[in-house]
Amino acid sequence: MSIPNLTAKNSTTNLINVNHNFPKYFIQTQSWSNFWQEANGNGHQVHTIEVDGQLEPILIYEYPWELGQNFWYLPRLFLPPHLNKTEAQNYLQSVLEKIIIAVTTSKPIFLKIEIDDIMATVLELDSVEKLNNFFQDKLVLKTEKKNKTIQYLQTITLDLQVIQNIIIPSQNDLQNLSIFYENSSIFWKTTNENIRRYTKKSLTQNWIISTEKTEENFAAFYKIYNQTKDRQNFAIQNLDYLKTLFQKDFSRVIILYDENKNPQAVWFGIISEKTLTYLYGGNTQVSFEKQGQYLLHLVAVKMAVSEGLIFYDLGGYNPALGFGKFKENYKGIVRTFVGPIDIIFEYPKYKFINFLIAIIKVFLEKK
């Protein structure tokens, strides 16, 4: 398959204004990909695509698929800094040329791809329809838009740069957290009034806060996370996966215990370049009654600033769900990752396997 040279008409050397300086997303970091491959085992591989020796490599995740086949997943494709639209188009062309060379060895049936919000802004591809048309019209690729996602496609990120130089107490007891809250008031004033009210109220509830990565804290996390999963009916990663991640030096944990040392609220996240990201969590009814979820995020903000991180990513965001409104109240930056698009390398196999999957799904729903 050949890709035509991209030369945009009426191109300009002026840079598109992108009003943020986010680093590449954590799933495009070597530390995360190393963990992912270790935690998933057979059938899962990570492929590194070198576009230019001076640029950061792109990571592609290989998953097993039906009938002994596999597919590739390229999440959050990011741009090198300071590219204009024409340069960004040429960069994307180079990425896809390298991928097409690489697929000759692993022979994936298709590549599922998303682009991050910075690339979407520079290329003016702010919807999945525009991205799909771009691949088809500009790059002459066989593609399909897909509703099934592997990662969330929106998140809310808090910019903490305004409180990078404040005095930060070292301890996480309620008295020192109250001092931190007052010292960082310039940030909290940017949030919704309810966030401020309930965060302050959470500081009066006799919580015991622990951020130590101990066996006791992992057990507490897994217990409350499981209970939350059962109550809200969502899927979670298995115990071994979570335990492996917990043991990595880039993961972080926050546990809220009540005065009787019973866990009531849990938070689990990771650090990457400039960013603390919230991944998993849960609450009991006791926590909801005592504003535990607000205290968790106060501790997380303190954790991020203490480690010199300027962004706090609140994790997956869906405005249609209840937790979406809660995250909106922090008034952060809503980031949208455009996709996914399936770029198809083996079209007959792709259509046949998807047809079988659809038939089996209908059969199972009728049982």
Look up the CATH number of the domain holding residue 240: 3.40.630.30
Cα–Cα dist 334/327, whole Å: 10
The beta-carbon contacts of 3-8 under 8 Å, at least 24 apart in sequence, are 3/93, 3/96, 3/97, 3/100, 3/139, 3/140, 3/141, 4/138, 4/139, 4/140, 5/93, 6/86, 6/89, 6/90, 6/93, 6/138, 6/139, 7/86, 8/85, 8/86, 8/89
Q: Report d(CA 258, CA 287) in Å as an integer.
A: 9
Dump the DSSP string for 79-137: PPSS--HHHHHHHHHHHHHHHHHHHHHH--SEEEEEE-HHHHHHHT--SHHHHHHIIII
Considering the domain boundaries, does residue 3 fall inside one?
A: no
Q: Reduce the DSSP state of residue 242 to 3 states and report it.
A: helix
Same domain flag for 219 and 173: yes
Same domain, 212 and 93: no
Report pLDDT for 276: 98
Q: Is residue 17 part of a domain?
A: no
The Cβ of residue 75 has, within 10 Å, a number of other Cβ atoms equal to: 23
What is the Cα–Cα distance from 36 to 241, expressed in whole angstroms?
Answer: 9
Query: Looking at the structure, do residues 114 and 214 belong to the same domain, yes or no?
Result: no
In a domain, 349, yes or no: yes
Give Rg (Cα) of the chain.
22
The tokens describing 161, both together, are: 């740069």
Kindly state whether residues 86 and 173 are assigned to the same domain. Answer: no
Helix (H) or strand (E) holding 217: helix 215-232
Domain assignment present for residue 296? The answer is yes
- 8 found inside a domain: no
Tokens of 101: 């060379």
Q: Structural domain tally of the chain? A: 2
The verdict on 50 and 127 lying in the same domain is: yes
Residue 308 lies in a domain: yes
Considering the domain architecture, whether residues 290 and 246 belong to the same structural domain is answered as: yes
User: How far is it, in rounded angstroms, from Cα 292 to Cα 92?
Assistant: 44
Nearest to 254 by CA among 246, 243, 265: 265
Same domain, 184 and 303: yes
Query: With contact defined as beta carbons under 8 Å apart, do 155 and 179 qualify?
Result: no
Global confidence as pTM: 0.92
What is the rounded distance in angstroms from the CA atom of residue 132 to the CA atom of residue 147? 13
In a domain, 220, yes or no: yes
Provide the CB-side half-sphere exposure for 355 (13 A, CA): 6
Whether 308 and 354 share a structural domain? no
Provide the domain limits for residue 219.
Answer: 154-335
Per-residue pLDDT of the chain (367 residues; tens, 9 = 90+): 333 333 333 333 233 334 468 999 999 999 999 999 999 988 899 999 998 877 889 999 999 999 999 999 999 999 998 899 999 999 999 999 999 999 998 899 999 999 999 999 999 999 999 999 999 988 888 999 988 899 999 999 999 999 999 999 999 999 999 999 999 999 999 999 999 999 999 999 999 999 999 999 999 999 999 999 999 998 999 999 999 999 999 999 999 999 999 999 999 999 999 999 999 999 999 999 999 999 999 999 999 999 999 999 999 998 887 678 899 999 999 999 999 999 999 999 999 999 999 999 888 877 6
In a domain, 1, yes or no: no
Q: Are residues 249 and 111 in the same domain?
A: no
Do 358 and 267 sit in the same domain of this protein?
no
pLDDT at 367: 67
Neighbouring C-beta atoms of residue 97, cutoff 10 Å: 16
**Are 76 and 159 found together in one domain?**
no
Report how far apart, in Å, the C-alpha atoms of 134 and of each of 16, 137, 290 are.
Answer: 18, 5, 50
**317 and 327 together in one domain:** yes
pLDDT at 17: 36
Tokens of 61: 């995740």
